[in-house]
Amino acid sequence: MHERIEKSPEEWRAHLTEEEFHVAREAGTERAFTGRYWDHHAKGTYECVCCGLELFASEAKFDSGTGWPSFFQPVDPENVATKVDRKLFMKRTEALCPRCDAHLGHVFPDGPKPTGMRYCMNSAALKFKPDA
C-alpha cells in the first residue's frame, strides 16, 4: 500500500504545467507524437509527475507505433492502479497512480511478451529520472 497524497486543484496547479495538470488531474490526453517521452530512449525510471512514485523502468519501454510512450509492465504491479473507463462511448482500462490518483493513460492487452500488455501513457503524466 502507498501512503495517499491528496491536494486541492490549486495545490496541484502550483507545481504542474498547464498540460501536466490537464492530463494528470483532469484525465486529458496529449496528441500522439508530441510528448517528450514517446521517442525517448535513455536508461532510467519514469515516475508520476504529480507525486514521484516510480512507475516504469526504461527496460520495459517499447515502440508501440502509437506516438505515446508504451511499457509492457510497471516497476511493481502495485505502482499502477486501473479502473474501467467508459468515456468516448467505449470500454477501456484507465491507468492511475495509486498514491495520488493521477491519470496516466490506458492499458491494452496488445503488448509484447512477456506480459502481452501495453501501458500506453501520456508523457505529460510522467517525469524521467535517469540512471546514475
Task: Return per-residue pLDDT of the chain as tens, 132 residues.
Answer: 688 999 999 999 999 999 999 999 999 999 999 999 999 999 999 999 999 999 999 999 999 999 999 999 999 999 999 998 777 667 889 999 999 999 999 999 999 999 999 999 999 999 999 998
Position 21 in a domain: yes
50 a catalytic residue: no
Sheet holding 61-62, edge to edge: 61-62, 70-71, 118-121, 103-108, 92-96, 81-85
Position 3 in a domain: no
Q: Which of 50, 97, 100, 120 is catalytic?
A: 120
Please report the sign of the dihedral spanned by the C-alpha atoms of residue 44, residue 114, residue 34, residue 7. negative
Q: How far is the C-alpha of 89 from the C-alpha of 6, rounded, in Å? A: 30
Position 60 in a domain: yes
Position 72 in a domain: yes
Position 101 in a domain: yes
CATH number at residue 41: 2.170.150.20
Position 4 in a domain: no
Position 105 in a domain: yes
Position 107 in a domain: yes
Domain that holds residue 24: 9-130
Whole-angstrom CA distances from 77 to 37, 72, 95, 127 are: 21, 11, 11, 19
